[in-house]
Structure 1
Amino acid sequence: MHERQATGPVHLSRRTVLLGAAAGAGALVLGAGALAPAAEAASFIKGADISWMPQMEAQGYYWNNSAGTRQDLFTVLKGYGLTAVRLRTWVNPSSDPANGHCSIDETAALAVRAQNAGMQVLIDYHFGDTWNSVGTQRPPAAWANLTYSQMLQAMYDYVYHTMNVLKYNKVTPTWVQIGNETNSGICKPTGSISNPAQMTGLLMAAHDMVKEVSPSTAVLVHLAQPQNLSSVQNFLNAYRNNGGQWDITGLSSYAQGGNVPAVLANMQTIQSSYGKPVMQVEYGGPLNKPTQVRDSLRAFITGLKGFGGLGTFYWEPEGYSPFTDYGSSAWDPTTRRPTAALDGFLNV
């Protein structure tokens, strides 16, 4: 059941890594004005973050399809038209089933399974040992006391190494997300948005190493709460004005019902203002309101398609209790069948 685990290459010296980044500068300049070929050629992406899948399997959880028959999770998702998965990775995670794991070796193993199932892969770097989100941006414990220059080197080394672990496992991510819901910055306080030059420096170290190892991979920055347009713009302005480069703007929105149109309008504004296509990399809604969640998902997909948005990912639809008390999944914990929420991906 376990895929081959990669140890990856030995970390290179600071001089070697930085020279490697400089050698790829021509490709980076080319990529700054256009999407990577893989992203450019893709049709509208329907996907899901399924990072809990291996730990759920390890504890005996499984998934039925809509007919009530036990089936491989990738097969079930593909039956709803999903073609991509998003997988997070943490630096030095704990062994907690729901809040740990997701080391690069574990993430690479799941990416291999996804790729073998015919799915495209989005890698989500949190740049922490556990959850980082709009309200929390903690650096990995091993980086917490580093100076900015030391942290910059740690970022170069970490992303270069982890991208090579993926490469060693023959995984080519279609997309890589540098940071998770980074409205307030990353690795705070060093990379706080209140210090935009350092924030941009850290993110560009990640960007450059992604492109160095996998030039065809599109790089996303990821912001939460597009209903708060100024929060997203504050980050993007600070990042762009300090030389930040990116291919796609990733956005989280769990808006429902009558709140969806205003969020879509802001997403369109973000796309037109910065000249980068948007992708909704997180969506979900109340487990106990599946038809509402279905209809809102359809509204997002229709709206995003209407102005050239690239895709929508459902966040951890496969998670169900008692593995997690997360209340916005799309699997019924009693029947182990997908709820009507996933029907939002069909016929749209």
Structure 2
Amino acid sequence: MKKVKTKFPLLMTLLAALMFSSCSKAQTPEITPTPTLFAFSKGADVGWLPQMEATGYKFYDIDGSQKDCLQLLKDRGMNTIRLRVWVNPSNDKASGHCSPAETVVMAVRAQKLGMRIMIDFHYSDSWADPAKQTKPAAWASHSFADLQNDVYQHTFDVLTALKSAGVTPEWVQVGNEIPGGMLWPEGKSSNFSQLAQLLNKGYEATKAVDAAIKVIVHVDEGNNNAKFRWFFDNAKANKVKYDVIGLSYYPYWIKSDYTATILDLENNLKDMAARYDKEVMVVEVGGDYTLVQNTKDMLVAVIKAVKAVPNNKGLGVIYWEPEGEKSWSGYQLNAWQSDGKPSPALDAFKN
């Protein structure tokens, strides 16, 4: 979602993260075991959180007491944290950070609270989404064969660093909102055979670290069945390897109230699960922060739609950046109030 390069290579950055984690272990409790993996996942993408805290933003509970943002989310029924990871990001407040090293630190922190972890690989130095899939600067001149190796090695290195720090993610996204492909132009979906090879390298790297990690392939407009059939028919024809179909659902961006498209979302979820024999998950959802009741009602409806997928193939629902309060982020679809407190809309995750 979300419409100064470092001087050290990835390995040095990852080692720094591991050292930080190791030094912290003596002062912190042991990592809480991951909850039962078969529970319905309710969660949030919180990629902005470290930089919000670095700029001094404070989070509060409804009684006015200052609290850890992750604890506030957990108190509202969330059990999952999704973290995007960029290859070599800048230090920009809203469009930077999310480096491999920072991702390791955040994942350790979330897991210590008993949260399940999803890692979202953008394979870029900044935002990757349907409008842009820019190669990392360090990969810009690489051949297609090099890019395949880049995807494998980057994925493997980040997941290995996480595992060394005591975190094995439950899910890994290979690419972020990729109806048009990734790592343009070589990985455009107009050349699906090459996109398939890149996706499979991410899958293979993930399974090499831990075969139990579920790999997600993620497409936007979860209510658009035609788009999903086109993409995943091509994925099947090109032998793409994956475990879960990930969907975004943002009524705001398609300029329609959720009541007009929620049945389309539910039907698409069921169709994807049956047509491709895959599990499905809404990995991004959000509503206008000014429309609290509407957003809460939408979340209740989305959770219900995912749970309605037969044979327990509907895995969960993830809110994209609820903590990204408007005055800090400029993002309209956050779920936080101007006083630093969570929006009541998030109470939809309590049940």
TM-score by length of 1: 0.87
Aligned to 1:341: 345
Pairing 1:42-191 to 2, within 5 Å after superposition: 42-191=38-187
- Unaligned segments of structure 1, at least 5 residues: 10-37
Deviation by residue 1:113-152 (Cα, 9 ceiling, x = unmatched): 0011110100000011100112211111222222111111
- CA deviations on 1:286-314 (whole Å, 9 max, x unpaired) are 01001000001001111211113110001
Cα deviations across residues 72-112 of structure 1 (Å, max 9, x unaligned)? 11211111111010000001111101101101000010000
The structural deviation recorded for 1:39 is 11
* Ranges of 4+ aligned residues in structure 1 off by more than 2 Å: 38-41, 255-259
Counterpart residue identity of residue 122, structure 2: H
Taking structure 2 as the reference length, the TM-score comes to 0.86
Shift of 1:6: 3.7
Aligned partner letter, 1:65: D
Change beyond 3 A, Cα 1:41–1:50: closer
Percent identical pairs in the alignment equals 37
Contact 1:166-1:172 at 8 Å conserved across structures: yes
What's 1:236 paired with? 232
- 2:333 paired residue number: 328
Work out whether 1:296 is the aligned partner of 2:298: yes
Q: Identify the match of residue 254 of structure 1 among 250, 258, 264.
A: 250
Partners of 1:158 and 1:6 in 2: how far apart? 11
Contact preservation (8 Å) 1:134, 1:182: yes
Matches within 5 A, 1:173-212: 173-212=169-208
Does the 8 Å CA contact 2:296/2:346 hold for their aligned counterparts?
Answer: yes
Highest relative contact order (Cα 8 Å, sep 6+), 1 or 2?
1
Which residue of structure 2 aligns with residue 275 of structure 1? Answer: 277
User: Could you say which residue in structure 2 is the equivalent of 1:15?
Assistant: none
Q: 1:277 Cα shift?
A: 1.1
Q: 1:139 touches 1:187 (CA, 8 Å); kept in 2?
A: yes
What is the CA–CA distance in structure 1 between the aligned matches of 2:197 and 2:35, rounded to whole Å?
25
> Any idea what SS the aligned residue of 1:312 has?
strand
* C-alpha distance 6-138 of structure 1, shift in aligned 2 (>3 A): closer
Distance 2:223 2:14 in 1: 40
Structure 2, unpaired ranges of 5+: 1-12, 18-33, 252-257
Task: Compute the displacement of 1:66 (Å).
Answer: 2.4
- Contact 1:6-1:169 at 8 Å conserved across structures: no
Task: Report the Cα distance in structure 2 between the residues aligned to 1:109 and 1:210, rounded to whole angstroms.
Answer: 19
Give the conservation status (yes or no) of the 8 Å contact 2:203–2:241: yes
Alpha-carbon offset, residue 41 of structure 1 = 4.2
Alpha-carbon contact 2:203-2:242 (below 8 Å) kept:
yes
Would you say 1:7 and 2:15 are equivalent positions? Answer: yes
- 1:8, CA displacement in angstroms? 7.9
